[in-house]
Structure formats: structure tokens, C-alpha cells
Structure 1
Amino acid sequence: MRAPRAASNAFADLHHADTPLLLPNAWDHASASAMAGQGFRAVGTTSLAVAAAAGLPDGASATREETLGLALVLGSQPFLLSVDAESGFSEDPDEVGEFARLLEAVGAVGINLEDALGPADRHAAKIAAVKAAAPRLFVNARTDTYWLGGDDERGVPETLSRLDAYQQAGADGVFVPGMTDPREIAALVARLHVPLNILYSPASLTVTRLGDLGVRRVSLGSFLYRRAMGAALAALDEIREGRRPGGRTPTYEETQRLGARVPRHA
């Protein structure tokens, strides 16, 4: 079920609103439904949670089928879906383009592609292949210059060099997880021609502050999944210690409702 052009355009428009697009990232049908039920028009997936649920490593191109399967479940639902596809699950641009075509065919309107600090020209070729195979998909091109930079941080110059190549290849937006310095964010925004996506960090800038700097999309990545895991472990500790678990617990009936599929056009 291919997402209609109107849905694709609506997702792109969310990157040009007065406030940044706050994109929560789900890991299954119930979590995505819960997020949409909180008023979020768009929901992303998180590769870490998809991999963890399958007992597979994240970022190792091991979860192609799991990612596609989740997109098949979520793509027909009444929210806009963007899929975290790691680095495309292949180094062959044509294979990445074919995977993107399958995502578009099941109703996704966006794809997140990371470069993992591989050659910029290869990642640009993947982006171009995706735009050729699935022109309606919003391609969010991620560079890991800050995420994987370690002590040898590459900073704004290399980041901008890579993002220039990705913009020229047809990226609709760009993503720099790990960038938190407000001066560097503002400098990058001033040089870009497409919306900038930043990964939310509870220890860093608020969504409002990021919006003031010109950021147009703020992703939560694996944060909510890790918080859910943390809440489960905390509840176990409280029960084991004879205390009543705190926090919010959806009822059995509420959780059942979250698991019910609702067609996009219902």
C-alpha cells in the first residue's frame, strides 16, 4: 500500500512549520499507536530497538527483514511513518534503492540513512539511488561525524563537506546526531539548504532552544525505548523490595486497543 502523495507532502511540510518536528521513535505497533495517540502526526522507528528485539546487533546491516516487516505493520496506520534503515542494509546503491522502493510501497513516507563515516561519495550514491527508486520518500541523510567521531572529532568542516555532497545527491533533510554545541548548530544551519535534524539529549538543549537555532526536526532515537526498559527494570526492583511500583501503567484494555490496527483511511 503505497503512501499517497498527499501524505508524503504532509511529512515534508512538517519540516517547515513554525516549530521543529518532534519525531518520537517507536519499536512496535503498540508503541507507535501510543505515540500517535498523544497527538504526534509522524512517528519514526528506531534501529536499536528493532535490533534488540530480534537479538541482533544495531548498525551492522543485520535487520533488513525485521525493519521491512515493521514498516509493513506500521505503514498503513493513520500516522506518517519514517523508517530508520541504518546505512541501507547494503553497500550497493541499487540494493539500497530497491529497499527504499519496498518501504515506499508499504506506506512509509520517510527514510533515515546513516553514513557510518564511510566514503561520502558512496553514501551520496545511495541517496541518489533512493530518490530514483522511491521519489516520494523524504530522505533524511545522516552523517556520523559527531556520533562516531570519538576523540578525533571532525567538527563542522567535515560535517559540512559531507552534508554538501548529500544535499547535492538529493537529500531532503540532513541529520547530525551528537552535535550539541549551539554555536556549531547555528553555523551549520546557516550553510544548509535543507532542514537540519538533531538528536534530542536530555542533558543538552531543549526542543524550543533547538528551534530558535534553526533546527527543523528533533528525533528521539532510541531514548523512549531505553526509558521503557529502564521503567521495567525499576518496577522489578520496587516489586522485589516490597514496594508498590510507581509511574504510569496502561491497563490491559488500553494496551489491547493500542495493538489494534486502524487503516490509514478509516
Structure 2
Amino acid sequence: MTFERFRALHHADEPLLLPCAWDHASAAALARAGFAAIGTTSLGVAAAAGKPDAGRATRQETLALARTITGLGIPVTVDIEAGFGRTPGQVADLVARLAGLGVAGINLEDGRGTGLADASAQAKLIAAVKRRVPRVFLNARTDAFWLGLPDARALALARARAYAEAGADGVFVPGASTEHDIEALVAGAGVPLNVLVRPGVPVRRLADLGVARISYGSLLFRAALHAAVTTALGVADGEPVTAGVPSYEQVEALHRYRPASGR
């Protein structure tokens, strides 16, 4: 039922707010805070391992993280970058393995360095994954805006339609930020639209525009790094520790976190 539960969250009255974790503690803390689902951040996973993001370098770390967080009682969707494989079959094998661990969804991106993958090839990749693993929510990410390409809206719309026709359950367009762009993508994609959270822009406004899913991306990981360094420097200067920092006992208990019965 995890796939159905996760898919239903994209068709609810309010957008799905999706915070992204990078390790078990962050995932458990977010689940305990009451979020309906959690994702993973490829930047956070890569940076924590001392590896580059989007470099096909963190396949094992991604699998290991998925294995540890799928028992938290809420749907989990995993960022697999461009698929960690050189062929559609290899990518489909990975997604099947993730599904076997209990993962409800994946993000699969078309960004390739400073450009985009061939649209036809990416659509075939999406189709191959969905044929092999139909009960995983495939969120097809297109990086036309993210890479600052000319005619980004037209590119993103064309790719969103092609990916939806290939079987994608949703499309993710990071970098799309103006209301006009978002409205056009909602109207033209044909599947639920996912955008990045925009600090200062109310969730209610994005809901009014028709956005189905709002991802935090790497924001929480970057905020955690900032908080760690800020706290370290503050203590060195004799400042009190920031109020609200969890206790040792609270953090140690996260490895035992399980949802309340009936949740």
C-alpha cells in the first residue's frame, strides 16, 4: 500500500510538503515531527560521504540510506540522480532493488553536467523503469530551468509532456519560480507538478497555482551545516548554546524511533 499512499498525497487538497533527509537521524527526526513523507537529498548524501553530487558516485550510500529509513512508517522517495547506471536495464534494476527495500518513489533527472540528456533517450529510460517497476512513483526531473538554458519554459514543458507520456507519475522542475512559469507547467504537464520550496513564498500561494508537491531539496542539509558552524563559533566566543538544541538522549533515541500504532 506504500505506493498508493504516496501517490494519493500528490492528489490531495493541499500540496505534499516533502523534507529531504541525508541520514537516518535526520529522516527519523522528520518522521517524528509529523511529515507525511520524506525524500532524500543527493547533495546531502554525497557531501556527507565526501563525494561529488550528480557524479554517479553514491549508489551504495543511496541504497544504504534507503535500507535504514523505510521502516519509519511513512512513504520514502529516493533521489537517484540520473539513475546510477549506464543502460535503462541497469537503472531499472536499481529501482527494483529500492522497491524491494520498501521505497515508494524515486527522482530521476535529465541533467547531465551543463546540459540535458537527449529527450527521447530519457523518455525511453523512464518507460523502461516503469515497465519493470510499475508500483514506484517515478518523479521525472527536468533541469531546463536549473541549468539556466534558453527557452527554459518551452523545454521544460516539452520534456514534462514526453516524460508523462512515457509513464512518469509526476514531474519535478527545480528552478521554475515565476507564477507564470509554474501556471504553464501545471496546465501543460499532465501529471502532478513538483517544485522546490521557495522561502518567503507561502505554501498557500503555490497551492493556488496548482503545485502538487513542494520539495525542500538540499535546504535542510545546508541549514544544518550552517547551524553547526554557527554554534561552534558561538561557543568559542563564549555565547550560550542555542535554545532548542536536542539533548543527547533525544538524539540517541532516534535509532529506536517507530511510528505510533495506527499512524
Shorter-normalised TM range: over 0.9
For the pair 1:254 / 2:250, whether they are aligned, the reply is: yes
Q: Give the letter for the 1:137 counterpart.
A: V
Residue 122 (structure 1) shift = 1.7
Residues 6-45 of structure 1: pairs in structure 2 closer than 5 A: 6-45=1-40
Residue 161 (structure 1) shift = 0.9
Residue 139 (structure 1) shift = 0.2
Distance between the aligned counterparts of 1:264 and 1:248, measured in 2?
24
Q: Deviations over 1:82-139 (max 9, x none)?
A: 0000010123111110000000000000000010011111211221111112111000
Which residue, out of 190, 206, 210, partners 2:206? 210
Residue 69 of structure 1 corresponds to 64
Q: Give the letter for the 1:48 counterpart.
A: L
Distance between the aligned counterparts of 1:50 and 1:154, measured in 2?
31
Give aligned pairs, total: 258
Identity of paired residues, percent? 48
Residue 143 (structure 1) shift = 0.2
- SS for the counterpart of 1:147 is coil
Which residue, out of 179, 182, 197, partners 1:182? 179
Which residue, out of 92, 98, 106, partners 2:93? 98
Q: When the two structures are superposed, what TM-score results if normalisation uses the length of structure 1?
A: 0.93
Distance between the aligned counterparts of 2:136 and 2:261, measured in 1?
19
Distance between the aligned counterparts of 1:104 and 1:73, measured in 2?
13
Distance 1:122 1:261, change over 3 A: farther
Distance 1:111 1:264, change over 3 A: farther
Cα contact 1:199–1:219 (8 A) shared by 2? yes
For the pair 1:171 / 2:168, whether they are aligned, the reply is: yes
Residue 264 (structure 1) shift = 10
- SS for the counterpart of 1:10 is helix
Cα contact 1:78–1:265 (8 A) shared by 2? no
- SS for the counterpart of 1:259 is helix
Q: Gaps (5+ residues) in structure 2?
A: none
Residue 247 (structure 1) shift = 4.1
Cα contact 2:186–2:211 (8 A) shared by 1? yes
Distance between the aligned counterparts of 1:265 and 1:128, measured in 2?
37
Residue 229 of structure 1 corresponds to 225
Which residue, out of 190, 196, 211, partners 1:193? 190
- SS for the counterpart of 1:108 is coil
Residue 220 (structure 1) shift = 0.1
Distance between the aligned counterparts of 1:122 and 1:216, measured in 2?
26
Cα contact 2:173–2:194 (8 A) shared by 1? yes
